[in-house]
């Protein structure tokens, strides 16, 4: 998501990029229904190429469906944008993106630096 918002790709969000957040986020709405679903936020990985080498038999196994997701760091950006915590962004949450992102600006310098965008550790 940060790659979508960081228009100049410098690793931080400027005042202008924060102001343009709602417009930038709309590019993730691939089905153009006005909301950004969890699938649009985190599209599935492409299938394994047919010519990819077979992993060794003793290689660690990826979790299987039903095993539960591994604990992932929480994105402060997603926590700020997803006001209702449903894992998707509604049209209202997208429209509120500039204000929601501005709330992450801890030092109130008008931009979001890498330390303000750094993922938070998983809750225990």
Q: Which CATH number goes with the domain that contains 93?
A: 1.10.238
pLDDT digits (tens, 9 = 90+) for 42-72: 767 778 888 888 888 887 776 655 555 555 5
Q: Is residue 51 in some structural domain?
A: no
Task: Quick: pLDDT tens for 17-28.
Answer: 999 999 999 999
Task: Answer yes or no: is 19 within a domain.
Answer: yes
For the chain, how many structural domains are there in total?
1
Question: Using only C-alpha atoms, what is the Rg of the chain?
Answer: 17
d(C-alpha 119, C-alpha 97), whole Å: 18
Q: What is the pLDDT of residue 62?
A: 66
Longest dimension (CA), the chain: 52
Range of the domain at 26: 1-43+72-116
Sign of torsion over alpha carbons 93, 15, 80, 46: positive
59 assigned to some structural domain: no
Q: Is 57 exposed, middle or buried (0-12, 13-18, 19+ CB in 10 A)?
A: exposed
Would 60 be classed as within a structural domain?
no
pTM above 0.75, yes or no: no
Does 36 have pLDDT greater than 90? yes
Q: Is residue 124 part of a domain?
A: no
Domain membership flag for residue 67: no
Domain-located, residue 34: yes
Domain for residue 48, yes or no?
A: no
CA distances from 13 to 10, 73, 111, 112, 122 (A): 8, 20, 5, 5, 23
């Amino acid at each position: 998501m940060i790659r979508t918002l960081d228009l100049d790709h410098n690793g931080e969000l400027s005042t202008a990029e924060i102001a343009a957040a709602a417009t930038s986020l709309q590019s993730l709405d691939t089905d153009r229904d006005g909301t950004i679903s969890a699938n649009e936020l985190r599209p599935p990985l492409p299938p394994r190429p047919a010519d990819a080498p077979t992993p060794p038999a003793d290689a660690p196994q990826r979790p299987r469906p039903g095993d539960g997701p591994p604990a992932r760091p929480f994105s402060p950006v997603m926590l700020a944008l997803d006001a209702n915590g449903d894992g998707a962004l509604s049209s209202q949450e997208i429209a509120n993106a500039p204000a929601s992102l501005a709330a992450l600006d801890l030092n109130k310098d008008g931009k979001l630096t890498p330390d303000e965008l750094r993922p938070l550790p998983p809750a225990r």
